[in-house]
């Protein structure tokens, strides 16, 4: 495992950022706008990721970092479940962060940024779908990006982190070359 060189990482992130900005323009602040097949599949994944929350996490003061927050859909589920978490949404896409801020403007316990360092450490960090869309990035470079991002999740969380990704156990006939399967 190695850290992607800065130029490769920057190019990779710019390509992904453009992809998601285009999705957002095409589909709006919806599950399709962040490349999920449906809102139901998005909620299912969020539900699994939230299992990493420690007991008592519904109390105000527990912080949750959503790395790759998109338009802030995880926050909808967090609030629907009555969780008073200090929510921190990070995304590489300024367009996604703007959509999230607009969508959750009234939530004083939620912040969104394209600057991960703006948040400091969080109790828990989650990442949903950030490893899936490799587009035309070579697999080895994407693999390095995945590992460095997992290391980032570890570094920014004090109590735990969770992420999801596609698996090579999926039906080979349904796989796409633009997606990464671990």
Average confidence (pLDDT) per 10 residues, the chain, 182 residues? 76 94 94 90 94 79 95 96 94 96 96 96 96 94 95 97 94 91 94
pLDDT of residue 1: 54
The angle formed by the CA atoms of residues 28, 29 and 33, to the nearest 5 degrees, is 65
Q: Looking only at Cα atoms, what is the longest distance across the chain?
A: 46
Which residues, at least 6 apart from 14, have a Cβ–Cβ distance to it below 8 Å?
none
pLDDT of residue 170: 83
86-90 β-sheet, strand order: 110-113, 86-90, 63-67, 122-127, 157-163
Handedness of CA 47, 91, 70, 15 (dihedral sign): negative
- Using a 10 angstrom Cβ sphere, with 0-12 exposed, 13-18 middle and 19 or more buried, the burial of residue 76 is middle
Q: Tell me how crowded residue 67 is: count the other CB atoms within 10 A of its CB.
A: 24
pTM of the model: 0.93
Q: Where are the alpha helices (DSSP H) in 5-138?
A: 6-27, 39-49, 73-80, 94-103
Q: Tell me how crowded residue 132 is: count the other CB atoms within 10 A of its CB.
A: 18
pLDDT of residue 150: 97
- The 10 Å CB-count burial string (b at 16+, else e) for 91-126 is bbbebbbbbbbebbeeeebbbbbeebeebeebbbbb
CB 128 within 8 A of CB 105: no
């Amino acid at each position: 495992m190695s850290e992607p060189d800065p130029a490769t990482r920057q190019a990779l992130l710019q390509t992904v950022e453009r992809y998601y900005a285009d999705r957002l323009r095409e589909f709006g602040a919806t599950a399709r706008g962040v490349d999920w097949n449906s809102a139901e599949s998005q909620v299912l994944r969020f539900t699994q990721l939230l299992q990493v929350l420690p007991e008592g996490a519904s109390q105000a003061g527990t912080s949750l970092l959503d790395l790759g927050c998109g338009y802030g859909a995880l926050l909808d589920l967090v609030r629907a479940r009555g969780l008073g978490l200090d929510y921190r949404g990070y995304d590489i896409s300024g367009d996604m962060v703007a959509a999230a801020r607009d969508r959750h403007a009234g939530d004083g316990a939620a912040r969104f940024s394209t600057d991960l360092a703006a948040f400091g450490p969080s109790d828990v960090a989650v990442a949903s779908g950030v490893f899936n869309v490799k587009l035309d990035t070579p697999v080895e470079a994407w693999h390095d990006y995945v590992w460095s991002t997992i290391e980032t999740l570890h570094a920014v969380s004090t109590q735990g982190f969770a992420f999801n990704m596609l698996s090579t156990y999926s039906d080979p006939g349904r796989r796409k070359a633009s997606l990464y399967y671990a």
